[in-house]
Structures are given as structure tokens and as C-alpha cells.
A and B are shown apart, each in its own frame.
Chain A
């Protein structure tokens, strides 16, 4: 897989991460926080909703402990991503720690769906993760530095991430041996979106999905 193919794979994430990163940077500059903190937050934390949450908590002068606990709970969903990556990352060198560090919703989605030959899988995965983080950093710094100066009306471009998840759901549906989990997830997702509070929707839905998957293992594997 050459570099151009890898970049092509990450374009939808770029389309989403740059404007969302800019929105984050913009909010940070509105709180009168110096722009370089946008850079450091995107380099070290690298969690979209986690960074927005941190800004919200800054604004309400939450304690550092509260920020730690809230961030942990918000990002707890990432545990499920790691759980699905254990065998994939097995045998990778120490560099896999960067892969684990960079396991965002979107990076997980790309890694799990891209067909990469085994021999250069680690390298390709590292590039995907690194490129995605670069887009996020660029977006957040540009947003923090330029503030309100925006060259064109890009409102709605973050829908590319929604479309990315839709497309990758179809890809995984075609790849997966079992199809029942797909329909169960459709019901849980719809149910969760309507009934769960937005902040906790993802982690609650994922827990429910894992619960159903495990408890009804036999009937999931029955038929197709």
C-alpha cells in the first residue's frame, strides 16, 4: 500500500477533523486561552469530544480531579475499541503504543475496515493514525490562531464523519460472517439516540451492545 493510497483512505477524516478541530480552537480562543494550548491539547490528549469537554470544564472552573474523572468516563467507550484490536496489534513493536494512544472513533473505524497486507500492516496503521492526528492538530491550531476569520462557509462539512461511519458500517456488514449483530446494533443505536442523554449515549449503547452480544451468543451464532 503506497503513501498516496493511505492518504486517500484518510481524506474523509481530514474533511471532518479540520473543521471540527477549528471549532475547538475557536472555542479555546474565545475562552482567552493562548493558542499554543490548542496545539498541546491536540498533541497529548487527542480526543475530540474529550477536548471540548475540557474547555467546558475550564469555563466553569472545575477542579483538575473533576476534569480527570469526566474525561475518563467520556472516553470509556475507547475501551471497546482496544478490545477489538488486541489480536490485530499483537506482535507489533513498541510503536503500537502510539496506535493505542491514537485510537479515536474515526481512527478505529479506518483501522478496522481497511484491507492491508499483513507484512506492512504496522507501518500503514501508524501512518493512518499519524495523518489523522495531524489533521486534528492543524484544524485546532488554525481555529485558535485565526479565530473568526474563515475563508468560506464550510458549515456542515463535519457530516463527512457521519457518512464515513455509514459507509464503514456497510463494509463491515458485508465482511462479517454473522449479520444478527448488525440488526441488534441498529435497534440499540436508534433506541439509545432517542432515550439516552446525549453525553452518555455512546457508552451506554456500547455497554448494552456488548451485553446483548455476550448473553445471546448462542442465538447470534444460530443461522446467519
Chain B
């Protein structure tokens, strides 16, 4: 692969990625955010976070063995631990550990 091709692609991908991140700041630079923008700012993050959970699970093959069992158990462990102990690091560590053991040794 030619280095000019790789370098050109990196520059273009950099600009493309950065522009997706800067667009909203450019659009709402001057005027005060409207009440609609404030409403979106307040409520969109919760929706984004929930959708990111499903996004993280998008490549699971639900229709064949083990039917996403490791993912379901991992998510349930994270929810249960977090509701009970409210310690983010603990919930994430144990859930990940359970998941790793399940996919490496059990399923």
C-alpha cells in the first residue's frame, strides 16, 4: 500500500471525524440555546446511553448457540450489582469478569 494513499486517507478521516463532532458547536455558537435545545440537552444523554447499550450488543448472534446468554447474564449482573451497591467500578469489574469466564470456560 502506498504511503501517500494511507496518509491522505488519515487526513481525510481525521477531518471527517472532527467535523461530526464540531458541527453542533458551530451551529449554536452565537445565539443563546433555545428552550428546545436545553430540553434536548437535558434528556438526550439518557436516551443516548440506553441506545449505546444496545449498540454494544449489536453483533451478538441471538439466533444461534449460545443465544447471547453470556451478554444477557453480564448485563443482568451489572444492573443487579449497580442497583444494590451503587459502585460503578465494582459493577463493571464483576460483570466483565463473569462475562469473560462465561465465554472462555463455560459456553
Q: Do the beta carbons of A87 and B51 come within 8 Å of each other?
A: no
Contacting residues, chain B, for A162 (C-beta < 8 A): 53, 56-57, 71, 74-75, 78
Contacting residues, chain A, for B69 (C-beta < 8 A): none
Q: Do the beta carbons of A169 and B46 come within 8 Å of each other?
A: yes
Q: Do the beta carbons of A44 and B10 come within 8 Å of each other?
A: yes
Other contacts beyond A51-B13, A160-B93, A186-B50: 12, CB < 8 A: A44-B14, A54-B13, A71-B17, A84-B40, A100-B25, A112-B49, A157-B100, A172-B46, A182-B47, A184-B47, A201-B55, A210-B44
Query: Smallest Cβ distance from A116 to chain B, in angstroms?
Result: 15
Q: Do the beta carbons of A109 and B49 come within 8 Å of each other?
A: yes
Contacting residues, chain B, for A37 (C-beta < 8 A): 6, 10
Contacting residues, chain A, for B99 (C-beta < 8 A): 156, 159, 163
Query: Smallest Cβ distance from B91 to chain A, in angstroms?
Result: 5
Q: Do the beta carbons of B21 and A155 come within 8 Å of each other?
A: no
Q: Do the beta carbons of B40 and A213 come within 8 Å of each other?
A: yes
Contacting residues, chain A, for B56 (C-beta < 8 A): 161-162, 165
Report, nearest first, the 5 A-B pairs whose CB atoms are least far apart: A189-B54, A82-B24, A185-B50, A185-B47, A68-B12
Q: Do the beta carbons of A164 and B92 come within 8 Å of each other?
A: yes
Contacting residues, chain A, for B23 (C-beta < 8 A): 79, 82
